[in-house]
Structure 1
Amino acid sequence: MDAVATELTARGARIVGRITQRRGVSDGGVLKMALPYSSRTLLSSGKIREVAAHCDETEADVVVFVPALTDRQQHVLTEIFERPTVGVSGITDTG
């Protein structure tokens, strides 16, 4: 996340927050470790609410995911967050 934030800042972006989805930290999360991430959104419903609220509070223009997103994930997340959502994969490699 640090490398991506550094690269985006160098390209003129203003980072308004970072949110990490951690599985296995809480008792409920431990139970979900064997389950795959949502192929539709990569996030749990609670994390989606957290990201959406943060976007609204900070008036974020774009949501950036560190992993690459499929076209479907990008479309679904853009609709949910009501702002462009993109995945960044290897941004520091592409310069």
Structure 2
Amino acid sequence: MHQSRRRDRRPARRRPSEPVRRQVCPLPVADADVVLVGCFSAKQKDFETVMASAAAGLAARGARVVARIVQRRGVSDGGVRKTGLPFSSRTLLRYGKVREVAQVCDRAGADAVIFVTALTERQRRTLTELLGRPAVSLSDAFAADHRRHH
């Protein structure tokens, strides 16, 4: 006779977790060539203003914005159906857009990628690995620059 399998209900063994240390921009913003990336829903009509403001803030801190890339969601018919779904929890961007960002970074010789949207620690690590250069959020880059000057 067939015996039913019993599931082991014990929690999986995990390594003791280390205290979470939030890393900030690993390089100074000043004198860096950066690619600026923004993720916006179709409902957000002022995305160009947000991107321009972010670029101006980076330029004021001495960074050179060598490219701007925008991921819009809910603009196409397929995107409208997905508007209610969260962006990728792993990369924030769609896979094709990550490839596009990587190609732009390589062509422009960018030192870092700065996202207008806040990144989780996991997204920061994953994007840094996939893009081959530091990926940080705008707020982290500004905070690191502020600490460097004070």
* TM category, shorter: 0.7 to 0.9
More helix by share: 1
* Cα distance in structure 1, aligned partners of 2:86 and 2:119: 15
Equivalent position SS for 1:15: strand
* Cα distance in structure 2, aligned partners of 1:23 and 1:70: 19
**Of residues 3, 6, 17 in structure 1, which corresponds to 2:67?**
17
Equivalent position SS for 2:114: strand
**Of residues 34, 47, 71 in structure 1, which corresponds to 2:84?**
34
Equivalent position SS for 2:106: helix
Say what the alpha-carbon RMSD is for the aligned residues. Answer: 2.0
Moved over 4 A (4+): none
* Cα distance in structure 1, aligned partners of 2:78 and 2:106: 27
**Who wins on radius of gyration, i.e. which is larger?**
2
More strand by share: 2
**Of residues 83, 98, 102 in structure 2, which corresponds to 1:48?**
98
Equivalent position SS for 1:39: coil
Shift of 1:61: 0.6
TM-score normalised per structure 1: 0.88
Q: Percent identity?
A: 59
TM-score normalised per structure 2: 0.57
**Of residues 58, 66, 69 in structure 2, which corresponds to 1:8?**
58
Number of residue pairs the alignment of both structures matches = 94
Q: Which blocks of at least 5 consecutive residues in structure 1 are unaligned?
A: none
Q: Which blocks of at least 5 consecutive residues in structure 2 are unaligned?
A: 1-50
